Amino acid sequence: MKTHLLVFDSSQASRKEVIQKVDRIPAIVNRYAFFENTLCLASEEDAKSLSNLLRHDFPKPRFLISEIEPQNKGGWLPEPIWEFLNDPKPAKADA
């Protein structure tokens, strides 16, 4: 499972709108929203494929999707976010 960082232009789409679109894309099996304009996505797809899927259903807002390299990241975040980044898992069906 790969982890991707999605950063979007919040002047063009709200966090709620982006989350609703992301949640409808079957290739994205989980997500973690932790900044107002940023989500982490869990998927087997590469960043270009995810970009194409998102643009197909949501062409207006500008965004950037980048795969997070497991051994090449850093920052200051709460532990649950690091856990998601380090070991993304599909969302539970009953959650």
Task: Kindly list the structural domains of the chain, giving each domain's residue range(s) and its CATH number in brackets, ordered by start.
Answer: 2-86 (3.30.70)
pLDDT for res 95: 46
Helix (H, G, I), strand (E, B) or coil at 82: helix
Token pair for 35: 């900044």
Full-model pTM? 0.89
- Pinpoint the alpha helices (H) of 1-95: 15-23, 47-57, 79-86
Residues of the chain with pLDDT under 50: 94-95
